Amino acid sequence: MTISRYARLYLLPTAFVASPFGRDGEVARLAGGLVWFSAYEVIAIDGGERIASHIVPVARIEDFLAGWTNEQAADARATVARITGNRPPLQLGESVLRFDQPQIMAILNLTPDSFSDGGKYLDDPVAAIESGLALDAAGAAILDVGGESTRPGAKPVWEGDEIARTEPIVRALARGGAVVSIDSRKAAVMRAALDAGAAIVNDVSALSYDPDAAPLLAGRQCPVVLMHHQGSPETMQREPRYRDVLIDVYDWLEQRVAFAERAGIARDRIIVDPGIGFGKTLRHNLQLLNGLALFHGLGCPILLGASRKRIIGALSGEAPVDQRLGGSVALALHGAQMGAQLLRVHDVAETLQAVRVWRGMRDEALTPRAC
């Protein structure tokens, strides 16, 4: 094998196994969760191009790295440690969000134009609050409240309108005992929601839209979701291009995590989201979903938001938004199997039932058998 000292190694966990028993040293646990794997796909990138790809058993990863430079091997070992390391829980007010199993983030849009439920609650705050509390009671770990649509082609919303839509609902839901996330890219909206009781921020711009956002969250010691996007909602689906979408998105998120850390936000308070549908074609989305486990190398919990999105319609005879439940559940379960810790969904009860069945199978697989 010819070694380029300029290449960087990326590690994609693969060859997942049902049970680790009897395979000591041959398998590794993914991010401290319920999934185990037996190999890495080691991808070598030089000058933005894939120059090599090797499937390396977990038991042989050290032998494999011995063939690379000390710097390359050290970087890869640090990635291995992040992939297999536990994700510490988050204290969100009086609630604790654990990342050793998949959790559900429920979507509650207070917009006139969101692609799935736009306008449903815009002029009916009582219904919005009742719906949010029902989602909480159904088992959602987080309620993600948004007042600005970020669907393809959506126009920006003035922050005053966004605050008026979201702040009263956030306040009522937090008072009702729910853990609330504010889905916004604007610091003023974040601040109003945090003052009203929100415990986490979900920023589709990954703190790149508003320069006041990162200092605000650092000062509040507030957890944040950093989501990948290409372009703005108005332009992001106009011929999105990548050299290698999986690697490009990984590198971009790595840079945003580093930015957040420099701003004073600890890595253990950062969640990453590859941004399914945000500046991606169908093929881009499928490649990201197939390679989702790569993002564990960032050492942060992963959020997957694919519920009711265009990818499902494209793969199922152009099914309309209100007929994408089956595809949404399928993608959520795929995320769980890839170790994603947060699943952002519209259909909480159905997704939670599917995840509980998946969890039951995992629990049985991870229970020692009597001889």
Q: Would you name the residues annotated as active-site residues? A: 309, 344
The full length of the chain comes to: 371
Q: Give me 333's structure tokens.
A: 């379960």
Mean pLDDT, range 222-228, rounded to an integer = 98
- 5: number of Cβ within 10 Å: 9
Mean pLDDT, range 161-168, rounded to an integer = 95
Q: What is the pLDDT of residues 331-365, one digit of tens each?
A: 999 999 999 999 999 999 999 999 999 999 999 99
Tell me the percentage of the chain whose pLDDT exceeds 90: 85
AA letter at 272 = V
Residue 222, pLDDT above cutoff 80: yes
Residue 119, pLDDT above cutoff 90: no
Tell me the percentage of the chain whose pLDDT exceeds 70: 93
Question: What DSSP character marks residue 229?
Answer: -
Q: What is the pTM of this model?
A: 0.95
Q: Give me the pLDDT at residue 286, please.
A: 98
pLDDT band at 125, cuts 50/70/90?
A: confident
Residue whose entry in the numeric block shows the structure tokens 């770990």: 141
Q: What is the pLDDT of residues 270-320, one digit of tens each?
A: 999 999 999 999 999 999 999 999 999 999 999 999 999 999 999 999 999
CB half-sphere exposure, 33, CA atoms < 13 A: 31
Pairwise CA distance, residues 304 & 65, whole Å: 31
Q: Where are the alpha helices (DSSP H) in the chain?
A: 61-65, 70-84, 125-138, 159-175, 187-196, 213-220, 245-262, 282-290, 310-314, 325-337, 348-365
Q: What angle do CA 214, 216, 221 make, to 5 degrees?
A: 95
Q: What is the pLDDT of residues 16-52, one digit of tens each?
A: 999 999 999 999 999 999 999 999 999 999 998 999 9
Cα–Cα distance list, 35 to 93, 229, 286, 336 (Å): 29, 28, 21, 9
pLDDT band at 2, cuts 50/70/90?
A: low
Q: Which residues, 6+ apart, have CB-to-CB distance to 62 below 8 Å?
A: none
pLDDT, the chain, mean:
93
Residue 186, pLDDT above cutoff 80: yes
Pairwise CA distance, residues 108 & 31, whole Å: 29
Pairwise CA distance, residues 31 & 82, whole Å: 7
Q: Give me the pLDDT at residue 234, please.
A: 63
Strand partners, 36: 17, 29
Residue 118, pLDDT above cutoff 60: no
Pairwise CA distance, residues 43 & 51, whole Å: 8
Q: Give me 264's structure tokens.
A: 């004073």
220 alpha carbon, distance to own chain's centre: 22
Q: What is the pLDDT of residues 66-75, one digit of tens each?
A: 989 999 999 9
More confident residue, 231 or 42: 42
Q: What is the pLDDT of residues 49-64, one digit of tens each?
A: 999 999 999 999 999 9
Of 73-82, 84-93, 233-242, 243-252, the poorest mean pLDDT is in 233-242
| Contact call for residues 194 and 186 (beta carbons, < 8 A) | no
Q: Give me the pLDDT at residue 324, please.
A: 96
Cα–Cα distance list, 303 to 139, 157, 178, 226 (Å): 17, 25, 19, 9
Domains and CATH numbers, the chain: 8-84 (no CATH), 90-362 (3.20.20.20)
Q: Give me 198's structure tokens.
A: 């929100």
Dihedral pair phi/psi, residue 246, rounded to 5°? -65, -45
